[in-house]
Amino acid sequence: MKVQVKRTALAAIVLTTAVAAGCGDGTTNPLAGKGQTVGLSFAGVKPAGLGGVMAVRNALADTLVVTDGTNTLRITSAEVVVREIELKRVQTTIDCDTVTDEDACEEFTIGAVLVSLPLASGVDTRLEVPVDSGTYSEVEFEIHKPGSDSVDQAFTAQNPTWPTNISIRVQGTFNGTPFTFTSDLNEDQEFTFSPPLVIDASGATTNLTIRLDVSTWFRNGAAGPLVDPATANKGGANENLVKDNIKASIKAFEDEDQDGDERDG
C-alpha cells in the first residue's frame, strides 16, 4: 500500500489473507488463492432512495453538504482506519481443534488500512481479498486507533502524517468556519448477513460493502439539528453524541453491483 492510501489507489490493491496451513481439504473448503475473491467496498452515504442526503461532487472535490435549515455542514474529507475485517462461517467441515489458529478456519483478516470514504452516493473504494469458499453468517471489523504492535507500526510507516492515537478524521467547514474533527474510537463492529453470504469455488467475485453514513454523524437526533464538529473533538460537549452516531451509522451487506444500496444485493 502507498502512503496516505486514496480511493483511486485502493482499486488495484490485492491484500494477502492469513489462512492457516491445512485449514481446508481441497474440495469442500479449498484454500484461499484458488481463484475466489471477495471485493471489499466502502461507502460514505446512503443512496438517495434510502433517505440519503444529496452530495455535491465536482471536478475539484468530493464534497458532502448537509443542512438543517439554519446551519450548513460541508465535509470535504472523511478518513477511517479499519483493521481485521473478518468473515465467520455458518459452519465448517474442518476440525479446527486440530490447527494452531482456530479462527483461521472461519475467517480472513487484513492489517490496518486507511480508507478515504466517498462523499457522494455509490462506492469508490475497493479491496480484493482471496478467501476460502463457503457460507458465511457474519462480518466483523474494527474501527481502529493504531497502537504500537507490529501491524500498527507498519501502518504508521506507510502513513507517517496520520495523527497519533486517532482512528477517524473529518475535515470541512461548519457555517463557513473550517474544522478538523478527530476521534479515538476503537471498537469492534459485527453484522449478520440475511440471507448468509455464499462464496463458491467458481472463481466469481463476491462484493461486500461497508457503509459509514457520514451524513448522520454530526446531528443531534435522526432529524435533529446539526452540531458543530469542533464541539465533538476529545473532551468536547458532543464527543459522545458523535461517537454514538458513528457506531449507529455503520452497515455491511452484499452489494454485487457496487452501488452502496443493500436493497438490490
Domain ranges of the chain: 7-255
- pLDDT confidence band for 235 (50 / 70 / 90): very high
pLDDT tens column, 81-102 = 998 888 887 865 544 445 544 4
pLDDT tens track for 126-185: 677 777 777 888 888 899 999 888 888 999 999 999 998 999 999 999 999 999 999 999
- Side-chain half-sphere of 68: how many Cα atoms within 13 Å? 18
- Contact present, 189 and 247 (Cβ < 8 Å): yes
pLDDT of residue 53: 52
Of residues 89 and 51, which shows the higher confidence score? 89
Enumerate the β-bridge partners of residue 149: none
Q: What sign for the dihedral angle of Cα 244, 194, 131, 207? A: negative
CA–CA distance, 56 with 79 (Å, rounded to integer): 18
Q: What is the mean pLDDT of the chain?
A: 76
